[in-house]
Amino acid sequence: MSASKSLLSCLALGFLFTSCDQITAATQPKPSDSSGVASTPPSAPARPSPPTCSEFAYTDDTVVISTTTPGAKIHYQYQNIYIVAPELEFPVMDYQGPISAAIGSIRVFVTTPNGDTSEATGCSRAYMRDNTLASPAILSSGSIFDYTTDSLEIVSPMPGSTIHYTLDGTAPSPSSPTYQGKIPMNKMFVIRAIATMPGWHPSEVVSDYFKYPIAPWNGSILYQFEVDTRDGQSYPTVKIGTQTWMAKNLNYQPRVVAADEYITTSIKTGTSYNWVLAVNNKICPEGWTIPSQKDWHQLRAYLLSQPGLSNGNLGNALKAKEIWNDQNAVDLYGFRAVPDAIESVHYNSPYYNGTSADIPGAGFWSTDLDDTRAAQYVKLNQFGSMDFLAIPADIQTANKFVRCLKVD
């Protein structure tokens, strides 16, 4: 095998040798003088300089690789720095022209016609053209998560940079907490992060909002269980006063046959339904019903009769612990209300305009329409109250949860 082929094989195998020069030495014949005795070889010529890359910052950029070595051929290999698939190894390729910056880091080197090879150097999407660091990336399993097992990770494309973050929605700065490792996802939160490094401008802020944790159960409650024979799903039930409620949002998914029968589904929070679909199809299983306004008011009256509860904190008594933005959810009766898919927005978000209906919370349908033919529902809001609201019944995307009540 020629020296140049051996060198390319060495590089394509991921630079496993201490130095590719070892192969060059092994494949060259030893020089000798006229007597046949091996002589000291002349000093090796200087290796060619590594190629250089044009600056790039975003995944839709292209990279131009150039060399100052006459006649040299450029080779490159993508490097997966985001650890999305660490087992994935990209091949060494010959450079033919501008290439994509989509992977994030590129290893480059040159070879000359006589087999000389430069050192390999890296081109990283770690900078922007104004000397500003690229933003870190937030890695997680998604906005729906299990608070008992899931966590998120933050990575920066620049080696040696420091990541700072906040979990309360405020803008991070170099004085914010330093990222040290995976962050447990044990409540609703907004995460914002930046990368910093001496001599560089801080990165732009990257953020994400995690909304749908699986709520913990109240270990002091002795739950009973009801099986929905339509699909085999099991629902814990709890008695509050004289009423028996499901302690989990209904997750039955009927066949949708009309444009105004609209549902959204989450395996971790239950299904939310359009009022027309829920009420017209009597969505609860046999022996159970969607509560009426009278039923909800009966629950409210019972809660008000209990020590320490008032109009301002009834919702907290029914909200699942640990997963709401506020710290007052106590789930006294095992009702285990989780934030709903439409209204669980951070109270500093643009969706909050100060009205009761726009405060983060959990909404549950009742069977009733008010005098204006608006569908009535109950909302346990972010700040602790239990509100009785209404929304036009013909709004297809106005989805709420259904909490089934046992028929007496």
CATH number, residue 73:
2.60.40.10
Q: Give me the amino acid identity at 101.
A: A
Q: Is 26 in the same domain as 154?
A: no
pTM exceeds cut of 0.95: no
Position 257 scores a pLDDT of 52
Query: In this structure, is residue 310 part of a structural domain?
Result: yes
Q: Is 317 in the same domain as 372?
A: yes
Whether pLDDT at 374 is above 80: yes
Residue 159 sits in which domain range? 137-210
Q: Is 293 in the same domain as 180?
A: no
Mean pLDDT, residues 260-276 taken together:
68
Q: Is 192 in the same domain as 100?
A: no
Position 130 scores a pLDDT of 52
Q: Is 245 in the same domain as 283?
A: yes
Q: Is 17 in the same domain as 117?
A: yes
Segment 324-365, tens digit of pLDDT: 766 688 899 999 888 764 333 333 333 333 344 445 678 899
Query: In this structure, is residue 21 part of a structural domain?
Result: yes
Q: What domain count does the chain have?
A: 3
Q: Is 119 in the same domain as 192?
A: no
Whether pLDDT at 42 is above 60: no
Segment 153-204, tens digit of pLDDT: 898 878 889 999 998 778 899 999 999 988 877 666 788 999 998 888 888 8
Mean pLDDT, residues 6-34 taken together:
42
Q: Is 109 in the same domain as 170?
A: no
Q: Is 383 in the same domain as 261?
A: yes
Position 372 scores a pLDDT of 82
Please enumerate in sequence order all residues whose Cβ is within 8 A of that of 347, keeping only pairs 6 or more positions apart, or say none. 325, 359, 360, 382
CATH number, domain containing residue 206: 2.60.40
Position 103 scores a pLDDT of 53
Query: In this structure, is residue 22 part of a structural domain?
Result: yes
Whether pLDDT at 135 is above 90: no
243 band by pLDDT with thresholds 50, 70 and 90: very high
Query: In this structure, is residue 198 part of a structural domain?
Result: yes
Give Cα 85 distance to the centre of its chain: 16
Identify the residue with better confidence: 28 or 364.
364
Question: What is the SS3 assignment for 213-280?
Answer: ECCCCCCCCCCEEEECCCCCCEEEEEEECCEEEECCCCCCCCCCCCCCCCEEEECCCEEEECHHHHHH
Computed over every residue of the chain, the mean pLDDT equals 75
